[in-house]
Structure formats: structure tokens, C-alpha cells
Amino acid sequence: ETGVTQSPTHLIKTRGQQVTLRCSSQSGHNTVSWYQQALGQGPQFIFQYYREEENGRGNFPPRFSGLQFPNYSSELNVNALELDDSALYLCASSSGGNQPQHFGDGTRLSIL
């Protein structure tokens, strides 16, 4: 059974640029959630996708957007990057809303 995989592992961008992070969900999982974890903090919920539809959103501006594909993989897009966007971005998949979420290793994004 393949777990949750995220790419890339690390990424360096400059302010104002755009970035796309990718996540492959665990086999059999139809729900994907994205979290932002700033240094020294707990993960903060960005949004969740269930069967290609957004199913809940946290307190993040519209420049954070996402997609879920028919194979349940997902992308997180961030436009107009700001210094505060530097963080570890975690993707998690599950087989339903109330089921345990399994996390990928994350993408560490650094904004210069």
C-alpha cells in the first residue's frame, strides 16, 4: 500500500512568484486536506477536497487555491507569494471525513 506522497520535497521561491505543490493520496482514499505548518507551530488547516470538490476551508486568503483530480491526487497553488508563506506544507488523505488522516512528508517552502 503506497502512502501519501508529496512533491517537491523542498522549494525556494521569491516574493510575488507563484507555486504549485502536489500530493498523491493513499490508495483507497478520496479525501485530501492541506495544512500549513509554520516553524514552531502546529499545522493550520488550509482546505479539504472530497471527490474533486472543496469541502471546507480554513482562514487563508483566496490566493491559496487547490484542485483534486479524478484519481484523488491534489494540488495546492499559492499566488503572489509572501515571506510569511514560508512553511512546511502538509498533505493528508483519508477514506472519509471522520477517518484518520494520513500525512505525507511535506513540502518545505522557503520564500526569499
Partner 1 sequence: AQKVTQAQTEISVVEKEDVTLDCVYETRDTTYYLFWYKQPPSGELVFLIRRNSFDEQNEISGRYSWNFQKSTSSFNFTITASQVVDSAVYFCALSALSGTYKYIFGTGTRLKVLA
Residues that bind partner 1 in the complex, under the rule CB under 8 A: 33, 35, 41-45, 48, 55-56, 58, 88, 90, 92, 97-98, 100-106, 108
Main-chain dihedrals φ then ψ at residue 62, nearest 5 degrees: -60, -20
Strand order in the sheet with 5-7: 5-7, 19-24, 74-78, 64-68
Shortest CB 78 distance to partner 1, Å: 19
CB of 27 to partner 1, least distance (A): 16
Q: Considering the complex, state which of residue 16 and residue 56 has its C-beta at the smaller distance from partner 1.
A: 56
Judged by phi (left if over 0) then psi (alpha if -120 to 50, else beta), residue 7 lies in: beta
Amino acid letter for position 59: N
- Least gap, CB of 16 to partner 1 (angstroms): 27
Between 15 and 54, CB nearer to partner 1:
54
